[in-house]
Amino acid sequence: MLREKYERVPSGCAVSGILDRSGRRFSGNDIIQSIALMRERSNGLGGGFAAYGIYPEYRDHYAFHMFYDDEQAREISERFLNEHFNIAEAGPIPTKKVSWIINEPMIWRYFVLPKEEKLTSSGLLSDEFVAQCVINLNKRIDGAFVVSSGKNMGAFKGVGYPEDIGEFYQLYNYEGYMWTAHGRFPTNTPGWWGGAHPFTLLDLSVVHNGELSSYGTNRRYLNEFGYECTMQTDTEVAAYLLDLFTRRQGMPLEIACKIMAPPMWDEIERMPDDERTLYTALRTVYGKALMNGPFSIIAAFNSGMVALNDRIKLRPLVAAEKGNVLYVSSEESAIIEICPKPDKIWTPRGGEPVIGMLEEVKA
């Protein structure tokens, strides 16, 4: 598979996300409409979506979305999958020919569960087992790429404007309770489908607008915990940091956000004792996980999502609420486009996460 030729392609981008906290499912139309409005922020070299709640019939299976360069890659990958998983269903993801979308890889989908004996012999929990398998697949099998691997969710992405990608995947045919989208403006022409956002790991998906000046520091830090940053993207770093803190270290999401975009030291100095101790500890222990430089990201996972800006808000991010629905986007217009009269609309401060959780999870 044609991988990213250059390391760390800087890019400007658009992001958008919608969550209905009641769990009500809705089609991909809104998210396509929202991201489409920000066409100016993309340049047709990458677009993608993450959709949650779209596979209720396989809600307990890991849904693997795969890109293959060719049949051989598919065969090798499927052999790998068969070896480690019981596959409940497999087949190509339906797509529609769109004139602007070219050079698409083979796009397949598998609903799988880890084989009991493999799980037992690995000594891993199933999520970690799946994560290891995804990393191995991406690393070892040429021409194959795991687009997403979470339960009851999937990522749909490719090279093109996001609305064309949405059309290509016919996302209006899917219904989910949460959608995120990304329109990319890379400064070169990588033409690699895997490089588009969202970046995913299990059910975690990240769309991201920005460029991390701390990339080298963050990556070396993640290395220490076994994360190999192969994609050369900042999005990958953000995803792995979230995974490390929330999944592996079991930290509250808010805290993880405060590690990635912490308050300034002088702000910490002015905090009450408890808070000061907490933030001092966070920055002292996790300094290398601070994501420095401009970014706005939307990270989604089965239970909800979080939108986060860098601490001095060098990239745009707007949030709105209407009833149970939470909107986050790079631009206010992209929210108004699909929700003309929100109950509340605001610009989150740098480093202040906007967190939306499914009500059933909260309860």
Partner 1 sequence: MISYVLPEFLVMRDENRCIQCQVCVRQCANDVHYLDEKDGKVKADDAKCVNCQRCVTFCPTHALTIIPNPQEFKANANWTKKAITEVQKQAESGAVILTSMGNPQEYPIYWDKIVLNASQVTNPSIDPLREPMELKTYLGRKPDKLEFDEKGRLITKLTPQLVLNVPIMFSAMSFGSISLNACESLARAATELGIYYNTGEGGLHSSLYRYGKNTIAQVASGRFGVHANYLNAGAALEIKIGQGAKPGIGGHLPGEKVGAEVSATRMIPEGSDAISPAPHHDIYSIEDLRQLIYALKEATNYTKPVSVKIAAVHNVAAIASGIARAGADIIAIDGFRGGTGAAPLRIRDNVGIPIEMAIAAVDTRLKEEGIRHQVSVVAAGSIRNSADIIKAIALGADAVYIATSALIAIGCHMCQKCNTGKCNWGIATQDPQLVKRLNPNIGARRLVNLVTAWEHEIKEMLGGMGINSIESLRGNREMLRGVGLTQKELDILGIKAAGE
Look up 13 and say whether it is catalytic. Answer: yes
DSSP string, 240-269: HHHIIIIIIS---HHHHHHHHSPPPHHHHH
The binder of partner 1 chosen from 278, 345, 355, 357 (CB under 8 A): 278
Q: Which is nearer to partner 1, 158 or 294 (CB)?
A: 294
Among 103, 120, 223, 333, binds partner 1 (CB under 8 A): 223
Choices 154-162, 220-228, 318-326, 327-335; region in contact with partner 1 by CB under 8 A? 220-228
What CA–CA distance (Å, rounded) separates 202 from 186?
25
Among residues 252, 323, 343, 347, which is the contact residue for partner 1, using CB under 8 A?
A: 252
Per-residue buried b or exposed e for 276-294, using 16+ beta carbons within 10 Å of the residue's own CB: eeebeebbeebebbbbbeb
Q: Is 254 in the site for partner 1 (CB under 8 A)?
A: yes
Rounded to whole angstroms, how far apart are CA atoms 349 and 351? 6
Q: Is 284 in the site for partner 1 (CB under 8 A)?
A: yes
| CB of 263 vs partner 1, minimal distance in Å | 10
Q: What's the burial of 45, exposed, middle or buried (CB within 10 Å: 0-12/13-18/19+)?
A: buried
Binding mask 67-106 for partner 1 (x = CB under 8 A): ----------------------------------------
Q: Are 301 and 19 in contact (CB under 8 A)?
A: no
Residue 176 dihedral angles phi and psi, to the nearest 5°:
-140, 160
Number of residues that bind partner 1 (CB under 8 A): 46
CB of 172 to partner 1, least distance (A): 33
- The answer to whether the beta carbons of residues 19 and 178 sit under 8 Å apart is yes
Tell me if 205 sits within 8 A of 156, measured CB to CB.
no
* Cα R_g (the chain), whole angstroms: 19
Binding region for partner 1 (CB under 8 A): 8, 10-12, 187, 210-211, 213-218, 220-221, 223-226, 249, 251-252, 254-255, 264-266, 274, 277-278, 280-288, 290, 292-294, 311-312, 314
**Which residues are catalytically annotated?**
13
